[in-house]
Amino acid sequence: MNSKAIAAVVLAATMSGALGMSGCGSPPVPPTQTPSPAASDADTDALLALNEKLRSQLGDSYSDSWIEANKLHVAVTNQAAADLVTAAGAVATIVTVDAAALEAALQAVATWRATLPAEQGAAIHSIIPDGRTGTLTISVAIEQLEAVTKAVAEDNPAGAIAVIVKESSGLPTPL
């Protein structure tokens, strides 16, 4: 791969991360996992369409979704929503944190990130919400992992939403 192609890939990945962290005024785009290789494009498209329909119907009860074993899984916050998901042919999981709370926590952590010393803020490569666990995961470059972990413990930037700090294996996203 030539340097222009590598630069294009890095730019695309960086912009995707930045857009995902900013929210861009819209909720995060599920699914959080890709379908198994046996799923056809038509199957995947049907599952994604079902997800969008359910997301719209569920409103505040929606938390997250993912495709696993060629089935749509939807995390919701109450039994009535779970019943709706099941009736639509998807697999329901009841959780305690909705998508809006995760988005608010993500925005709070992104704002907090900007207040950190420059080397710590730049070492945070991604902030990922997970509706299945009701947590945010912050991926941090190894050289700042201890400092950022300490800052998270001291500052509690996500409030009631738990924050998991882990070593990053990827590229940073811009502030």
The ranges assigned to domains in the chain are: 8-24+100-167, 41-95
CATH 3.30.300 correct for 8-24+100-167: yes
Nearest alpha carbon to residue 27 among 85, 122, 98, 113: 98
Tell me the whole-structure pTM to 2 decimals: 0.68
Q: Point out the least confidently predicted range of 68-72, 132-136, 166-170.
A: 166-170
Please tell me the predicted confidence (pLDDT) of residue 29. Answer: 40
pLDDT in tens, 40-85: 788 889 999 999 999 999 999 999 999 999 999 999 999 999 999 9
The two domains 8-24+100-167 and 41-95 share their CATH topology (first three levels equal): yes
- CATH class (in words) of the domain with range 41-95: alpha beta
CB atoms within 10 A of CB 84: 18
Report the distance separating Cα 21 and Cα 109, nearest Å.
Answer: 10
Tokens of 50: 């079902």
Question: In the predicted model, is pLDDT for residue 2 greater than 50?
Answer: no
